[in-house]
Structure 1
Amino acid sequence: MKIILRIVGLLIILNSALLYMHYSQMADASGTPEKESRYIQEIEVINREDALFIRHHFKNLDARRYEIILPAQSRNRACYLETDSSCTRINENVTAIVEGEQSWQSISYEIPKPESLENRKLFKEPFALLRNAKPDFTILHVTDESGIGGLWVSGLELVGSRQMDMIEYSMYRGSGGVTDLYWQRNSLPLAYRGSRLSIFGDSIDFEVAEQLDNGLLELNARHIAVVLDPQSKPLKSSRFLISELKETDLSDVVLERGVRSLYIIPDNEQLVAGLIASISVDTPSHIGKVNAVFETLKNSLTTDQYELLRSRLSEKQGERLDAAELDRLIGEVCGWKTSFVQKNNERAYPFLLEDTRVITLNGEAHEDIQVIMMDRRSLYPINKVLTRNGYSVTSNESSIYIESETEKFRFSLRDPFYVLNNKRYTVRERPYILIDNEYYFEEDALRRLFHLSIQKNEETIIVKSLAGGNTK
């Protein structure tokens, strides 16, 4: 009997294990994302007349399979036999590193040059990537065999250069990855080298450079390279910028580059990058629009909410951030939804929180009505709420007119009073506010003046007319 019980117990354990494996595989198949992997990369770039010849080494790989994302313009893709085992996990068409124990794998490819380099050239995303993985550290070697000379910039810190007969070699290194590679014929000296900032130029203000470096350090940004060249047109990449400005005018631009080295921010999201920079270092921006949004946001959050937002942003490093995601984080720390950053991308907009509960008017749901909160006041759009409770709503440059069969209101837009059925009433504060060309009334005013009952539960805001008005 004991033997039978042991066998049954073993079968139960085995069955549980098989079920766990089965559902784990189902979860993977259903699209549950894998934990993002980290690796170290070493990239060798050889500049020749017709192409950049690249040897790309991926190191510290774990045993999983990696999909290789090769540059769209690359050609002659192959594995590279750096060591006896550096090709063992590369598949035949060089699109994946398959499962295996070897932690170092190498590939090679070329980035063609349609024409010879003349004054400057940006090689946009010329390096391979691994899907669902990020480089922790990058070593970049650039060898120029064409004898063209000039300055190469990647955003990584320049370790050193060596000039030989018809060959010039430079080595760069730094945390994180590198997206772009830039060359210009005008070779400028390294005028400043800090912990997070390098500046190439003929002369600079050392104190200003120190301040910029300290700002990037406080931001905990990746290393940034700045080329101050009055002869070149401005150019920006995620980890470097080419500018004709003086370093004294670069504070916001450098901090924005620092932010973009930490997050994946769309190119057109200038407000997001500037706002994150200001929040992260708790410093106003010199850019008017960014500063206005930052000051409004900071003044609208409590100290605890503001510090929690800074912490949430720090946790998001390495991830994609746009206006919608930043709004989600702000709403998360406030406990309500907001579209503050998205709205300010379009035009100046106040800090509002959005009540996501469904509005019902006299028993009917109205999903097009959005209750908002501003300065801890609940506000309702009167053109929708009151017209659907039997009132007409009109306005001009001096007054708002709200009328039913028995009541005629006129709210002055110039002075703090309203008129009801020809009788004037003075108010200490106006019960309405104009937001984005729409008038909103406070919840208490709707109850007191327009005979509305407003009750709330977790999912619904229930609005009923106590005056027996007809809904439209």
Structure 2
Amino acid sequence: MKITFRIVGLLIIMNSVLLYMHYSQLADASGSSEKLSRYVQEIEVINRADAIFITHHFHNLDEGRYEIIYPAESRKHACFLETESSCIRMNENATAILEGEHSRQSISYEIPISGTLESRKLFKEPFAKLRNAKPDSTILHVTDESGIGGMWISGLPLVGTKKMDMVDYSMFKGNGTVSDLYWQRKVYPEAYRGDRLSIFADSIDADVAEQLNGDLKDLNTRHISVVLDPEGKPLQSSRFIITQLKATELSDLVLERGVRSMYAISEREQLVASLVTSISIDTPTGTKEAKAVFESMKGSLTEEQYEILQSRLTEKYGEHIDASILDELIGEVAGWKTSFVQKNTEGSYPFVLEDTRTVYMNGEAQEDVQVIIMDKQTLYPASKLLSRNGYDVSANESSIYIESEEEKFRFSLRDPFYVLNEKRYELREKPYAFIGNEYYFAEDALRRIFHLSIQKNEDTIVVKSLLGGELK
């Protein structure tokens, strides 16, 4: 009983101070966030042997309707009657907050725990959300009643911890949301605490930590937490990192994780996270392959286009970003469609823009003929375009063969020349490119060497032969 009174007293004191600071800051903020369906949340977690029990308070709700999205593994969803009005807007099965004036509503639910917590545990997305709304800030209380000890990490700044008989308590508070919750038995002290970064380790180089914190601050990321555990298995969540790396090796990893805190980027979208980070800080980051993709993209855009891309990306702050969305942004600033990022998630692919106009031959649309732009050259797929003009197209390790009854071309893959009917012609540069397991020929070469007429308008590209006869 004494333990219970001490916990309640501690919660009341700490919570009163933090809530006063929290709502004072909110009162000073502009009213724009309310129009964007923003809210403030406070989450109370109690860890017991068989489950974590969660009480979730939503503050500063507007008068609109909110659908509640519960965690997939949660159970026993219910309204939590904290005050007389904390359930007044809740529907019967606690799946939605209905239209109304009361700005604070509360729910409760639990997440079952299978087995016993041994060395560590990641609770993946254990907290409820409101559809089409985002929290401006979060206060998180974690009370452990199981006696397991250890440390809890959420990615939010740690306000403080208190260890008592049979009960451990931790409080976190910060901007934005909390996505995951992590526990491990081995405890590390908070070796560094900055505005945007906390590092838990036996020791840390202060200069390195300050530099990382400054970089995150320049990016305007959310706060993230890093646990330097030489013996722990590496783990990454949207707002925290468990790593065996040394502090001096953390830069790329921390910056990328910071960027992930700014955007909703899936853990599967590793290349996207690296590219967004590289664009944001204007420095190649990530793997060797990711750095090469960034350099290829940046080198293919003008300085003005690249700056616009950086600006457009900033405008996406807080939104979902994946390979297709990043391609859309790049395509918008470049003036053409592109699948560059999507293709590079599957393998190495050059920076290519896509002409969306439909190619017509003999009055028929050639839907499978994709015209592309690379290095300011317009290119056409040789096997599709030329085979429909009466040629057979093949290739080996040294040459491309393009042959009809009258013309037999051999293009060298080693030097810039071609042979037509046994007569050699020198070229200033190779008229073809090998892209995605297919040879493409430049538009100028198709006109000059193969005597094709290529006429373009706003919606179509019409290809005709100048040698007489119809394209096949």
Scaled by the length of structure 2, the TM-score of the pair is: 0.90
Q: CA deviation at 1:81?
A: 2.1
- Is structure 2 residue 139 aligned with structure 1 residue 139? yes
- Is structure 2 residue 457 aligned with structure 1 residue 457? yes
Q: CA deviation at 1:210?
A: 1.8
Q: CA deviation at 1:421?
A: 2.4
1:434 partner amino acid: F
Alignment correspondent of 1:15: none
What is the alpha-carbon distance in structure 1 between the residues aligned to residue 267 and residue 171 of structure 2?
28
1:397 partner amino acid: E
What is the alpha-carbon distance in structure 1 between the residues aligned to residue 73 and residue 381 of structure 2?
53
Q: CA deviation at 1:72?
A: 2.7
2:68 partner amino acid: I
- Is structure 2 residue 266 aligned with structure 1 residue 266? yes
Q: CA deviation at 1:249?
A: 1.7
Alignment correspondent of 1:85: 85
Q: Which moved more, 1:111-120 or 1:343-352?
A: 111-120
Contact 1:417 1:426 (C-alpha < 8 Å) held by counterparts: yes
Alignment correspondent of 1:124: 124
**SS of residue matched to 1:94:** coil
What is the alpha-carbon distance in structure 1 between the residues aligned to residue 428 and residue 148 of structure 2?
75
Alignment correspondent of 2:73: 73
Alignment correspondent of 1:335: 335
Contact 2:49 2:116 (C-alpha < 8 Å) held by counterparts: yes
Alignment correspondent of 2:321: 321
Residues 203 and 373 (structure 1 numbering): CA distance in 2 closer, same or farther, change over 3 Å? Answer: same
1:466 partner amino acid: L
What is the alpha-carbon distance in structure 1 between the residues aligned to residue 75 and residue 395 of structure 2?
66
Q: CA deviation at 1:285?
A: 1.3
Q: CA deviation at 1:341?
A: 0.6
- Is structure 2 residue 60 aligned with structure 1 residue 60? yes
What is the alpha-carbon distance in structure 2 between the residues aligned to residue 163 and residue 232 of structure 1?
24
Q: CA deviation at 1:346?
A: 1.2
Question: What is the 5 A alignment of 1:268-307?
Answer: 268-307=268-307
Q: CA deviation at 1:449?
A: 1.2
Contact 1:389 1:469 (C-alpha < 8 Å) held by counterparts: no
What is the alpha-carbon distance in structure 2 between the residues aligned to residue 73 and residue 286 of structure 1?
33
Alignment correspondent of 1:188: 188
Question: What is the 5 A alignment of 1:64-463?
Answer: 64-463=64-463
1:330 partner amino acid: I
1:317 partner amino acid: Y
What is the alpha-carbon distance in structure 1 between the residues aligned to residue 110 and residue 384 of structure 2?
62
Contact 2:143 2:169 (C-alpha < 8 Å) held by counterparts: yes
1:303 partner amino acid: E
Q: Which moved more, 1:403-412 or 1:129-138?
A: 403-412
What is the alpha-carbon distance in structure 2 between the residues aligned to residue 236 and residue 378 of structure 1?
42
Structure 1: state its 5+ residue gaps: 1-34
**SS of residue matched to 2:319:** coil
Alignment correspondent of 1:38: 38
Contact 1:52 1:112 (C-alpha < 8 Å) held by counterparts: yes
What is the alpha-carbon distance in structure 2 between the residues aligned to residue 77 and residue 388 of structure 1?
63
What is the alpha-carbon distance in structure 2 between the residues aligned to residue 76 and residue 325 of structure 1?
37
Residues 392 and 111 (structure 1 numbering): CA distance in 2 closer, same or farther, change over 3 Å? Answer: closer
Deviations 1:44-69 (A, max 9, x none): 11222332222111001000111111
Contact 2:464 2:470 (C-alpha < 8 Å) held by counterparts: no
What is the alpha-carbon distance in structure 2 between the residues aligned to residue 412 and residue 469 of structure 1?
28
What is the alpha-carbon distance in structure 1 between the residues aligned to residue 213 and residue 143 of structure 2?
28
Residues 157 and 377 (structure 1 numbering): CA distance in 2 closer, same or farther, change over 3 Å? Answer: same
1:214 partner amino acid: G
Contact 1:362 1:465 (C-alpha < 8 Å) held by counterparts: no
Contact 1:390 1:470 (C-alpha < 8 Å) held by counterparts: no
Number of residue-to-residue matches in the alignment: 438
**SS of residue matched to 1:127:** coil
What is the alpha-carbon distance in structure 1 between the residues aligned to residue 357 and residue 318 of structure 2?
33
Residues 382 and 469 (structure 1 numbering): CA distance in 2 closer, same or farther, change over 3 Å? Answer: farther
What is the alpha-carbon distance in structure 2 between the residues aligned to residue 399 and residue 150 of structure 1?
65
RMSD over equivalenced CA pairs, Å: 1.5
2:233 partner amino acid: K
What is the alpha-carbon distance in structure 1 between the residues aligned to residue 111 and residue 433 of structure 2?
58
Structure 2: state its 5+ residue gaps: 1-34
